[in-house]
Structure formats: C-alpha cells, structure tokens
Structure 1
Amino acid sequence: MAIAKLGAVVLDCPDPVALARFYAGILGGEIKIQAEDDQQWVDLEGVAGTTLAFQAAPGFVPPKWPSAEESQQFHLDLTVDDMDAAEAKVLELGATALEADDRKRSFRVYADPAGHPFCLCAG
C-alpha cells in the first residue's frame, strides 16, 4: 500500500515563469503563478495527471550531460507521435540538442532553456 502520492515534479531554475512557458509550449497545461509578487514558484497544471512545477533557485547551475563526473539527477521523457515535428517545435521554443543527430534511435536528447536534459521519445 502506498503511503504517499506524487504531488509535483519540481525543476529548480533561474526563471520559473520562462521555464513554465517553455514546457507549456510543449505539453500544454495551465500556468499558475503561486505568488504574483515574487514569482518564485510556478505550477504547470493539467499535464499527464500531475503538476510540473518550477522553483527559483539563486545560483542555479544546470546539470552537465553527458558527464561521467557529475550526475544529471533526473530527466523528463516526453512521448511524441512525430519525432521530426516535435524536434522542430522544441528547438523553436528554445531547446538545445545535446547529442549528435542519430535518427535510428527511438529517442533524442535536448536541454531546456535552463539546461535540464529531456528526451523526446517515439510513441
């Protein structure tokens, strides 16, 4: 029996509103700024049954990917129907490709504008 339920997946970043807009452009959902005056915490609601949240982190340093010396900690796998169309859209929204283009794999690796790695995965 579970003792908890997942409340949110939270990404630390320098600009929570900007990163929420980036992911809303990919995943849809509704952006909810939790404190209008400081914008330190922003939720993206209505995404796959859970909340993706963004928290301001002074001194944020993005993970290095790939790196044998440092752990990336975690990444998001985003399932898509059309890899090429999804790739064009995430790049337009501000993503950066992290690997050489390998069209034979079922996934492609990118970084969001704050530097968090994520994958587009064939659905």
Structure 2
Amino acid sequence: MGEQDLTARIAMVTLDCAEVAPSADFWSTFLGWEVAASTDDYAMLTPPGGGPALGLGRVEDHQPPAWPDEGGRKQFHLDLAVDDLDAAAARATSLGARLADPQPGETWRVLIDPAGHPFCLTDAKSWG
C-alpha cells in the first residue's frame, strides 16, 4: 500500500448545537452553502464546487463553548477569511450572530453563532 493510500482528508466538520434549524439557516446563509440534508437532529451543508462539508448535530442539553475560554470548554473554532471585516461582521449579526466581548484586536472579529459557537473573521489578504 502506498503512502498516499494511508492519508486521510477532512470530509466534514460537525458543530454540536441545541437546535439544528437555526444553526443550519445561519451558516447556510452566511457562507452561501446549500443545505444538502436536514432533520430535527442533523443537517449537512455543502460548499459550492465541493470540498469539506459542515455538519450540525443536535445534542441533548448542549452547553455552548465560552468566549473568552476560561474554563477549557472551547475545543476549536472556525476562522473565516473575508474581504471586509466590518461588512462581514454586520452581515453575520444581521443573520443572528453576536459580537463577542472582548475582541482580540483590530485584524480579527470574534463572533458567536446562534448556537453559541465562537468563530473568527479575518482579512482574506492575510491568507495569501
């Protein structure tokens, strides 16, 4: 078996949430991704042109992570490259996200999605 046969690729990242529909609505609209499958317990969003999907899974008694993370509950977050930080933050808040407090500086915006997950917006030019 060649080395290439032993590699793995990320097919999907799944976020836990208390309610699937509001999270699916927010992320599909904000990212411009299609809701490929949706039930009360699970949704899968797919990007245009393929690539890893975003899953949303209902978890009973879900406890969202904290920002800032002082208790060790935040395991990871999404970093999203955008052309205009202020415009993207305004769009996200109009869709149901909220700005986190505190903010880490001028080159990032930390927001909290409707299910309580922190995510970051950053200038796309910084990513090459």
TM-score range normalised by the length of the shorter chain: 0.7 to 0.9
Distance 1:22 1:75, change over 3 A: same
The one of 63, 70, 82 aligned to 1:68: 70
Asked if 2 retains the 8 angstrom alpha-carbon contact of 1:99 and 1:108, the reply is no
Structure 1 residue 122, shift from structure 2 partner: 0.8
**Deviation at 1:83?**
1.0
Pairing of 1:101-112 with structure 2 (within 5 A) = 105-112=106-113
2:115 is matched with: 114
Once the two structures are overlaid, the 10-residue window that deviates more, 3-12 or 113-122, is 3-12
Q: 1:84 aligns with which of 77, 86, 104?
A: 86
Number of paired residues? 119
Corresponding position: 1:14 with 2:18: yes
Q: How does 1:24-103 map to 2 (within 5 A)?
A: 24-35=28-39, 39-46=40-47, 49-100=51-102
TM-score, normalised to structure 2's length? 0.83
Superposed displacement of residue 100, structure 1: 4.2
Percent identity between the two aligned chains: 37
Cα distance between partner residues in 2 of 1:118 and 1:76: 5
Q: What amino acid does structure 2 have at the position aligned with 1:13?
A: C
> Deviations along 1:48-85, whole A, 9 cap, x unmatched?
71100000101000011113222310000111001111
Distance 1:52 1:7 in 2: 9
C-alpha distance in 1 between matches for 2:116 and 2:38: 23
Letter in 2 for 1:46: P
CA RMSD of aligned residues (A): 1.8
Secondary structure of 1:115's counterpart equals coil
TM-superposed CA distance for 1:34, in Å, is 4.7
1:13-41 superposed Cα distances (whole Å, 9 cap, x missing partner): 01112201101111111102255xxx211
Structure 2, gaps ≥5 residues long: none
Measure the CA separation in 2 of the matches of 1:53 and 1:78: 16
Q: Which has the larger radius of gyration?
A: 2
